[in-house]
Every structure is written in structure tokens, then in C-alpha cells.
């Protein structure tokens, strides 16, 4: 504990002004921008001279207010957003205090974020953060989610970081904490050795569909270095977790793995993986993601329960149509492939003629008919008006089921593919995320593996009518060990953890040998 809270001059007193209330009620204001030329001018001035005199700050503030679009509510947040760093922001805050201008929560929030951006703080600056926290809490028994997130970002840089747990609970009163808030607190848990709390929060974070920042994994690796005897086991724990939660590590984390000291017994080398699942470095094949028959049956039954019986499908269809479809399936299944007709038709745009749409579907059907495949097309009733030789070919060489024009395609497509059996593929570019969500975490994971194994999509059609098809990558796309050898791992890398990549084979991998 600090012996005293060190504050920016007058800031806590300013924050304490007025009655106790729920903080954040008036925090959000419309985002207004300065003209580009004025914006550039001010940024250049503050970059060259971050600490200004009161007269200079006053002139900047007045100049922005003269833009008419700005007022006393939003001008100070705008100025603070122009500040090039923490010292510049603190200089402006001092000007506001000296001018008797009340600091609103938007200003304090931006100031707190600048502490996080600087990251490497002096002791004085860490005490300033705690002073800001105390001032806010003395005035407000409960803080709004935005202010709590700003505070967690800064408090986790101080010895008083455990105060963040209560702030996290406040955020949960109105929503789910964002990725940064979770990540800052988890990373600090790992840094200070509170491993149980860190992993508990990390599991909660992923369950809430929040992606961890790089610092979470880098902090875990830093913690692991403190105990060389369990280092390899702890790295395996991290890699296994990313697989279980379908997370990708970033190239930044990959670089940290590559740079581990040789004596730790982990050697990571950049590699590529072929479409057939072979690593270019160790020449071994990745683990297959083929869904076992027992898991497939559980998925099929769960899909019927979640999407059909619970009437999710009836949002855009009718029980009568579903009965007609079930009777159709009973008479015509099994199929080798189920095709989303409109998805194929509109793959090159939706401003073309029905003749072009029919031609594109027919091209895909021909591709499978040449392979002696049994094909089902799911379409909509307006396709019945497409009169062309291609539609005639489709009707003569494939099964065709047309839903009502307002019905959803995906449930019919997936239902048919699952009912047809574990060997049936389906053809669509849709991501099917809603259906994965409806199935819950465990069976949602099975659904994603089944989807990865069986989903094909159209890339293009050549001038002579040949189709270029994207085939599924039937191997584990997340970090995993080679079957039968827990010492050999393959780890896919993405540019950034916080950008959700397409769930597809990544271009860059690490081949990791655990000796």
C-alpha cells in the first residue's frame, strides 16, 4: 500500500465536486471531427511542444469552440484526443483545473488510457492513477462500464491492480467486459503469480466470446520462465488451451516462441503446411479433424432439437413446408452433396439474368455428375420461373427442392446434409455461425469440425464452363500435437489476435519440437 495517494493537482477535488451519483450518465456524446487541415495543424503543434502554457491551451480551446460544432461538453475530450502523449494530456488537465473547468468522465477516461499507452511508468505516475481511482470511487459508489474499463487499463499498471476485480464486476452489471479489460487483468495476474485467478478469467473471457490480447500469452510465457522444471509443461498447457478454445496465436507470440533460449528444450521453426496437411519442416502430417460417427449422430440429433423442434426454423418458414421437406428427404436421400442453389447463383453478383444464375448452378451440378455423385439442390420457388436449358439439365440430373421465397436456406441445407449421413458434403459460402451458436459450446465445436470437413464453395467458373472449387482443409487448423507424439506440435499464426480471421488454413505456422 502506498503511504499516501499522490494526485494531479486539484484533480480529485474536481472529481469530488457535486453529489454522489451513478457515474457515466452523461459520458457519451456524438463524435465530432475537426476539419482535416486544422486537425493536422494542432497535432503537429502538440507533437513539437507537448507541454504548453495556460495561454496557449486557452487559445487552442477557444479556437476549437469557434468551430461552432463544438461546445463546453465535447471540446475538452477533443483537445485531449489530440495530445501526443501523457505529459501533453496532463499539461492540458492542469490548465483546466487552473481555469476552474470541471473534468468530466470522458476527459478522465482518455487520460487513463494515455497511462496505458505509455505503459512504462514512473512511481509518481502510478500513484496518480490510484489517486484518480480514489477520486472517482469517493464520488460514485458504482461506475459505468466505460469508466471501469478505462480504470482497469490504468490500474493494472500499479500495485493496486487487484482493485480491478471489483471494477470487472461493475462492468458485468450492464454487459460483458471487452477484450482489453479482460486481457489487462489476466496478464497482471500472471505477472504477479496469481495463476488460478488468471486462468479462471481467461476461461471466462473465451466463454464470453472475447479474444485475448497478445500480452495474455506473453505474460504467461514470462511467468513460465520463472520455473524451468515445469516450463515445457506450462507451454503445452497454453497451446492446448488455444486448441480447446479455437484461438489463434499471433506472429508476435510466435516470435517469442522462436526466441526461447535453447536450454529450455523447446525449438520453434517457421513452416508451411500443404493442402494435404503436411508440414514443410518436419514432413509430418497434421491431425485429422474427421468427426467420429458417434459425435456425428449427437450433432445430427442436437441440430434437429435446436433448430427444428425448438422452431428456430419457423421464423422464416411453416410447419407445412417442413413436413413437405421431410417427406422429400425420406424419398430421395442419401446424397453425396447438398448445394445451396442461390448461394451458387449469386456468387458473381445478384444483378444478372436468371439464365446466368441457372448456368452457374448447372456448371456445379455437372462437376459432380461427372463424378457420378448424387446431388440435391436447395433453392427457392421463384427459381421455378427460370426457363432455360440449364434448369432442364438441373432437374434431370439432380434432386431439386424449392422452399418458399421468404424461407431461410441454411436450415434446410444443413438439415438435409446431416440427415443424409456422415459422408455427405454441402456446398455454400455461408459461415453458418448462427447455427454453431445455437448448439452451445461443446456441440458447436463438433459442428465447426463437421463444417470444416464437409463444406465446399465456388471460387470461379472458367470460360469453358469448368468450376474452380475451394475444397475443405480436413486437418486441425489450431495448435495441436502430431497424433501419437505429444512432443511435436504445429502452431498456426495470424497477424493479430484481436482480429477474427477466417477459420481456414493459415499461411504461416510454427513447427515446435519439445525435447
pLDDT at residue 16, as a whole number: 42
pLDDT at residue 315, as a whole number: 58
- The model's confidence at residue 433, banded by pLDDT at 50, 70 and 90, is confident
Burial (CB count within 10 angstroms: exposed 0-12, middle 13-18, buried 19+), residue 472: middle
Q: pLDDT by residue (tens digit) across 19-45?
A: 333 344 334 444 567 778 888 888 888
Architecture of the domain made up of 293-470: 3-Layer(aba) Sandwich (3.40)
pLDDT at residue 409, as a whole number: 80
- Tell me if 393 sits within 8 A of 375, measured CB to CB: no
Is residue 224's pLDDT more than 50? yes
- The model's confidence at residue 328, banded by pLDDT at 50, 70 and 90, is very high
- Tell me if 492 sits within 8 A of 477, measured CB to CB: yes
Chain centroid to CA 284: how far? 30
Taking residues 483-492, report their average pLDDT: 94
- Tell me if 421 sits within 8 A of 338, measured CB to CB: no
Q: pLDDT by residue (tens digit) across 151-164?
A: 999 999 999 999 99
Q: pLDDT by residue (tens digit) across 72-84?
A: 888 898 898 888 7
C-alpha 23/C-alpha 246 separation (Å) is: 37
pLDDT at residue 377, as a whole number: 98
| Residues β-bridged to residue 510 | 270, 491
Q: What is the pTM of this model?
A: 0.83
- Any idea where the domains of the chain sit in the sequence? 293-470
Q: pLDDT by residue (tens digit) across 103-159?
A: 888 889 999 999 999 989 999 999 999 999 999 999 888 999 999 999 999 999 999
C-alpha 87/C-alpha 140 separation (Å) is: 27
Is residue 46's pLDDT more than 90? no
- Stated as kind and residue range, the H or E segment containing 312 is none
Beta-strand pair 508-514/485-494: antiparallel
Q: What is the mean pLDDT of the chain?
A: 88
Q: pLDDT by residue (tens digit) across 149-206?
A: 999 999 999 999 999 999 999 999 999 999 999 999 999 999 999 999 999 999 999 9
Q: pLDDT by residue (tens digit) across 242-279?
A: 999 989 999 999 999 999 999 999 999 999 999 999 99
Burial (CB count within 10 angstroms: exposed 0-12, middle 13-18, buried 19+), residue 246: middle
Q: pLDDT by residue (tens digit) across 383-428?
A: 988 888 999 999 999 999 999 876 678 889 999 999 999 999 999 9
Q: pLDDT by residue (tens digit) across 449-485?
A: 999 999 999 999 998 889 999 999 999 999 999 998 9
In this structure, the number of other CB atoms found within 10 A of the CB of residue 125 comes to: 19
Is residue 6's pLDDT more than 80? no
Amino acid at each position: 500500500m502506498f503511504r499516501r495517494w499522490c494526485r494531479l493537482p486539484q484533480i480529485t477535488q474536481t472529481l469530488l465536486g457535486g453529489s454522489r451519483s451513478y457515474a457515466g450518465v452523461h459520458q457519451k456524446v456524438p463524435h465530432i471531427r475537426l476539419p482535416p487541415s486544422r486537425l493536422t495543424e494542432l497535432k503537429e503543434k502538440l507533437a513539437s511542444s507537448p507541454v504548453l502554457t495556460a495561454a496557449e491551451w486557452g487559445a487552442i480551446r477557444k479556437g476549437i469552440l469557434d468551430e461552432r460544432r463544438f461546445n463546453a461538453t465535447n471540446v475538452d475530450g477533443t483537445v485531449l484526443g489530440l495530445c501526443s502523449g501523457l505529459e501533453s494530456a496532463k499539461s492540458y488537465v492542469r490548465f483546466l483545473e487552473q481555469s476552474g473547468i470541471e473534468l468530466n468522465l470522458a476527459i478522465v477516461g482518455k487520460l487513463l488510457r494515455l497511462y496505458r499507452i505509455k505503459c512504462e511508468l514512473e512511481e509518481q505516475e502510478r500513484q496518480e492513477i490510484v489517486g484518480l481511482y480514489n477520486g472517482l470511487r469517493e464520488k460514485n459508489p458504482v461506475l459505468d462500464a466505460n469508466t471501469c474499463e478505462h480504470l482497469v487499463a490504468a490500474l493494472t499498471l500499479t500495485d493496486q491492480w487487484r482493485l480491478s476485480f471489483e471494477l470487472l464486476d461493475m462492468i458485468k452489471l450492464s454487459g460483458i467486459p471487452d477484450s482489453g479489460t479482460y486481457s489487462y487483468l489476466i496478464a497482471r495476474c500472471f505477472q504477479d503469480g496469481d495463476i488460478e485467478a488468471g486462468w479462471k478469467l481467461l476461461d471466462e473471457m473465451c466463454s464470453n466470446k472475447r479474444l485475448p490480447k497478445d500480452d495474455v500469452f506473453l505474460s504467461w510465457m514470462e511467468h513460465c520462465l520463472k520455473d524451468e522444471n515445469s516450463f515445457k509443461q506450462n507451454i503445452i498447457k497454453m497451446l492446448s488451451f488455444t486448441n480447446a478454445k479455437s484461438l489463434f496465436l499471433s506472429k508476435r507470440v510466435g516470435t517469442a516462441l522462436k526466441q526461447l533460449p535453447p536450454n529450455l528444450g523447446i525449438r520453434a521453426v517457421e513452416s508451411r503446411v500443404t493442402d494435404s496437411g503436411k508440414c514443410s519442416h518436419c514432413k509430418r502430417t497434421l491431425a485429422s479433424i474427421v468427426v467420429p460417427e458417434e459425435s456425428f449422430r449427437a450433432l445430427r440429433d442436437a441440430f434437429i432439437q435446436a433448430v427444428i423442434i425448438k422452431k428456430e426454423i419457423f421464423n422464416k418458414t411453416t410447419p407445412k413446408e417442413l413436413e413437405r421437406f421431410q417427406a422429400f428427404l425420406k424419398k430421395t436421400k442419401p446424397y453425396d452433396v447438398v448445394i445451396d442453389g442461390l448461394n451458387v447463383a449469386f456468387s458473381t453478383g445478384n444483378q444478372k439474368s436468371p439464365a446466368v444464375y441457372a448456368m452457374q448452378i448447372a456448371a456445379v451440378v455437372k462437376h459432380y455428375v461427372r463424378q457420378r455423385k448424387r446431388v440435391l439442390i436447395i433453392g427457392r420457388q421463384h427459381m421455378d420461373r427460370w426457363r432455360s436449358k440449364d434448369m432442364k439439365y438441373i432437374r434431370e440430373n439432380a434432386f431439386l427442392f424449392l422452399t418458399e421465397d421468404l424461407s431461410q436456406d441454411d436450415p434446410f441445407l444443413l438439415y438435409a446434409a446431416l440427415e443424409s449421413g456422415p459422408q455427405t458434403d454441402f456446398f455454400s459460402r455461408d459461415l453458418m455461425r448462427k447455427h454453431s451458436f445455437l448448439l452451445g459450446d461443446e456441440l458447436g465445436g463438433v459442428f465447426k469440425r463437421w463444417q470444416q470437413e464437409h463444406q465446399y464453395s465456388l471460387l470461379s467458373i472458367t470460360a469453358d464452363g469448368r468450376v474452380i472449387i475451394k475444397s475443405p482443409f480436413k486437418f486441425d487448423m489450431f495448435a495441436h500435437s502430431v497424433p501419437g507424439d505429444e512432443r511435436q506440435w504445429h502452431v498456426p499464426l495470424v497477424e493479430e489476435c484481436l482480429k477474427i480471421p477466417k477459420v481456414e488454413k493459415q499461411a504461416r505456422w510454427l513447427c515446435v519440437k519439445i525435447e
